Amino acid sequence: MIAKENRYISAIVDRLVGTFKKADLNTGNTKSEHKNTESDQLFVPKNTFIRGDLSSASDIIIAGEVVGNVTCRQLTIYKNALVKGDVTAEELIVYGEAFGAISAPRITFQPKCHVEGPVYCNWFKLEQGAYFEGKMHRTDCDGTTVLPLVVPQADNSHPAESRSRPHLALVS
């Protein structure tokens, strides 16, 4: 218990001097990273539960659980992390789970992530192994909806090729 408290105190002290502890996405190990204080980041650690809206003018990294809307510049949802609520960001990277409407010009769904809800974006990357259930809407940079994006039906003439990577197409 004392070791766990010392880790949290160390993370707070590091944050005050411009350094933060960041969990490695694959192993869960922590490492120190120096960060420019002008682009400070908010870090929600593993085993932390936040109920309510979370808003920041800078980046937010979530390794714990947030039940509420999240608004920020860049949002990263770590592996085993959870966000239940609407997300509004300039960029979103999901390794964990997200449930709710997502609006961001740039979105990346990493392998083994789980996302459910409508998505509004200009640029979208779906890595193989990512799970997405919802409707995709393409937007201009100003946020206006242009055309919905849909995943086309797999072409059975090349089954190995259709399973190897995700495909997106514009439908008018």
Supply the pLDDT for residue 157.
Answer: 52
> Which residues touch 149 (CB under 8 Å, ≥6 apart)?
124, 136, 137, 138, 168, 169, 170, 171
Long-range contacts, 96-105 (Cβ 8 Å, 24+): 96/62, 100/69, 103/139, 103/143, 104/75, 105/139, 105/141
Is the separation of the CB atoms in 96 and 112 below 8 Å?
A: no
Would you say residue 13 lies in a domain?
A: no
Would you say residue 27 lies in a domain?
A: no
Supply the pLDDT for residue 171.
Answer: 43
Residue 61 β-bridge partners: 43, 76
Would you say residue 22 lies in a domain?
A: no
Helix (H) or strand (E) holding 62: strand 59-62
Would you say residue 122 lies in a domain?
A: yes
Number of separate domains in the chain: 1
Supply the pLDDT for residue 23.
Answer: 45
Supply the pLDDT for residue 141.
Answer: 59
- Range of the structural domain that residue 165 is part of: 39-170
CA distance 68 to 62: 13
Would you say residue 160 lies in a domain?
A: yes
Strand, coil or helix: 129? coil
CA distance 44 to 109: 20
Would you say residue 18 lies in a domain?
A: no
Supply the pLDDT for residue 138.
Answer: 86
Would you say residue 1 lies in a domain?
A: no
Give per-10-residue mean pLDDT for the chain (172 aa).
52 42 44 48 94 94 96 96 96 97 95 96 92 89 54 50 44 41
Would you say residue 15 lies in a domain?
A: no
Helix (H) or strand (E) holding 22: strand 19-23
Supply the pLDDT for residue 62.
Answer: 97
Q: Tell me the CA end-to-end span of the chain in Å, nearest whole number.
A: 58
